[in-house]
Amino acid sequence: MTPSSLGDEIRVDVEPAFREDESAPEEERFVFSYTITVHNHSGHSMQLLARHWKITQGSGKVQEVRGKGVVGQQPMIGPGQTFRYTSRAILDGPVGVMEGAFTCVDTATQRPFEVAIAPFRLAGPNQVH
């Protein structure tokens, strides 16, 4: 299996949520949580090694975040398994868009591959979805 075809068998679901209790709109602080579920539909075990996020705020400001693993882990995800975690993003306005990619490795072949994360919207209260 080539790295690109393995990446096609990994699905990423995202559930964003506005965190009103942590936000301070008067200070231009809008906090969002996002729960990511990685589904391994391949016949291979994989390890999530790194993440890359591009966060575009409503103001047009773009922030890129890169780092090892997710929430302090580099999880192994076996065939048919899922891995779920929740993290946060802090924006200076009530709307934004996040997109990115995970860098993973097929543990059988040690071949790296990328899993794209489609853009998803972050929207505070009273924002059009």
16 contacts 121 by C-beta, under 8 angstroms: yes
Q: Match 């899993």 to its residue by tokens.
A: 115
Q: What is the chain's Cα-based Rg?
A: 16
Cα angle 22, 28, 33 (rounded to 5 degrees) comes to: 35
Kindly report, residue by residue over 60-86, the tens digit of the pLDDT.
999 999 999 999 999 999 999 999 999
Query: What's the pTM?
Result: 0.89
Could you give the percent of the chain with pLDDT greater than 90?
88
- The structure tokens listed for 47 are 């390890």
CA 95 to chain centre: 17
Kindly report, residue by residue over 81-115, the tens digit of the pLDDT.
999 999 999 999 999 999 999 999 999 999 999 99
What is the identity of the amino acid at 126?
A: N
Residue ranges and CATH numbers for the domains of the chain are: 6-122 (2.60.40.1470)
